[in-house]
Amino acid sequence: MRVFVFMCLLHAVVAQISNPWEGPGRTPVVDDPNAGNACSVDQGTCSCCLILQQLNRLKTYFNQTLYEMQQESSLMTQTLNNIEASRAAFSASLFTDEQFRCFGPLDPNSNIIYKNVYLNLGAHYNVSTGVFTAPYSGVYTFTVSVYSDAGAPGNLLSACASLQVNNQHVAAAKDQNTSDQEDSATIAVVLQLRARDQVVVKLPKTCFLCDDSFYNTFSGFLLYVTE
Ligand SMILES: *[C@@H]1O[C@H](CO)[C@@H](O)[C@H](O)[C@H]1NC(C)=O
Ligand SMILES: *[C@@H]1O[C@H](CO)[C@@H](O)[C@H](O)[C@H]1NC(C)=O
Ligand SMILES: *[C@@H]1O[C@H](CO)[C@@H](O)[C@H](O)[C@H]1NC(C)=O
């Protein structure tokens, strides 16, 4: 008897909430036609049949929701994998130890080859040539720090560099002041590149860089991919 009263109450409650599970954009859940027939044939089991009918609709609703959540989850996993696979970042300094030495002057203009690689995610920076090749079209950030020590005040000092994309000059760093002993300059740019664009720092032919403490660095990373 208790069970019967409970079922009737449940039926009343379910009937009052008219289709709460039909959210926007969802295909309406189709009733089981047999449930209605059973109800008209046997009035005694009417409440049970209606409850079963509502339970079936709930079951279909939850199954559909689960299916959609699984689809969304696999889409998100795929996106995350793509982001992880497209990671590109590098950072390197000119010399590999703290021994005082100079790079340049060289004629003609030459690539500055940053030999001491701190990081090379995706291996898009070539340590033999000093060239970073953009793996994807996207927005990239690059920084270059240029430093030189003349050894003594009044000595010739010419610390300069040119950041180039596909051999086109994009940005420069320059400090030439023979009154002091050390000169430094920096470049920081954000660039839109196409896949396979080549980025390198060149040493203009009269310039040279003398360093004894990892002052000269070249770094870059992919901010985000564009189509
Ligand atoms: C659940 O949903 C999936 C996808 O919509 C469907 O293939 C499957 O038959 C459904 N299962 C049940 C028990 O309704
Ligand atoms: C670096 O560039 C040189 C010259 O283009 C090439 O021979 C070499 O395979 C490259 N190294 C890597 C690791 O890609
Ligand atoms: C060159 O360096 C000296 C010594 O640090 C400084 O007094 C002077 O202002 C500098 N000149 C320029 C053009 O920066």
Write the pLDDT tens digit of every residue in 56-99: 999 999 999 999 999 999 999 999 998 888 899 999 999 999 99
Residues 94 and 58 placed together within one structural domain of the fold? no
- Among residues 226, 225, 222, the alpha carbon closest in space to that of 120 is found at 222
Q: Same domain for 9 and 76?
A: yes
Phi, psi of 95 (to 5 degrees): -110, 160
Residue 71 lies in a domain: yes
Residue 186: is its pLDDT beyond 50?
yes
Q: What is the mean pLDDT of residues 103-109?
A: 91
CA-nearest residue for atom 4, ligand 3, is: 180
The pLDDT of residue 34 is 56
Assigned domain for 26 exists: no
pTM of the model: 0.72
Determine, yes or no, domain membership for 67. yes
Question: Domain count of the chain?
Answer: 2
- Among residues 29, 187, 201, the alpha carbon closest in space to that of 125 is found at 201
The two tokens of residue 227 are 């189509």
Nearest Cα neighbor of 155 from 131, 132, 183 is 183
* Cα 11 to ligand 1 centre (Å): 25
pLDDT tier for residue 7 given thresholds of 50, 70 and 90:
very low
Same domain, 92 and 61: no
Residues 104 and 6 grouped into a single domain: no
Q: Are residues 118 and 61 in the same domain?
A: no
CA distances from 85 to 79, 157, 210 (A): 10, 43, 37
Say if residue 80 is in the same domain as residue 91: no
pLDDT tens for 187-196 read 999 999 999 9
Q: What pLDDT, on a 0 to 100 scale, did the predictor assign at position 67?
A: 97
Residue 227 has pLDDT above 80, yes or no: no
**What average pLDDT does this structure show over 1-22?**
47
CB burial of 12-38 (b: ≥16 within 10 Å; e: otherwise) equals eebeeeeeeeeeeeeeebeeeeebeeb
- pLDDT, one tens digit per residue, over 23-49 is 455 555 555 555 555 556 666 678 888
Ligand nearest to the CA of 127: 2
As to burial, measured by CB atoms within 10 angstroms (0-12 exposed, 13-18 middle, 19+ buried), residue 80 is exposed
Shared domain for 198 and 149, answered yes or no, is yes
Q: Is residue 22 part of a domain?
A: no
Same domain for 217 and 108? yes
Q: Are residues 69 and 171 in the same domain?
A: no
Answer yes or no: do 108 and 216 share one domain: yes
My answer on whether 92 and 196 are in the same domain is yes
- Please report, for residues 17, 113, 132, the alpha-carbon distance to residue 121 in angstroms, rounded to integers and kept in the order given: 56, 18, 11
Q: Is 62 in the pocket of ligand 1 (CB under 6 A)?
A: no
Q: State the residue range of the domain holding 51.
A: 2-16+36-84
- Asked if residue 137 and residue 97 are part of one domain, the reply reads yes
Q: With cut-offs at 50, 70 and 90, classify the pLDDT of residue 115.
A: very high
Alpha-carbon gap, residue 158 to 160, rounded angstroms: 6
Query: Which alpha helices (H) appear in the chain, and where do they start and end?
Result: 2-16, 33-41, 46-85
Closest by Cα among 140, 156, 147 to 191: 140
What is the structure's pLDDT at 12?
45
Name the phi and psi angles at 116, rounded to 5.
-95, 90
What is the percent of the chain with per-residue pLDDT over 70, rounded to a whole number? 81
Which atom of ligand 2 lies nearest, measured to the CA of 126?
1
- In angstroms, the CA 183 to CA 209 distance is 9
- Residue 199: which pLDDT band, with cuts at 50, 70 and 90? very high
Find the 133 Cα to ligand 2 centroid distance in Å.
Answer: 11
Amino acid 44: pLDDT: 63
CB burial class (10 A; 0-12, 13-18, 19+) of residue 102?
A: middle
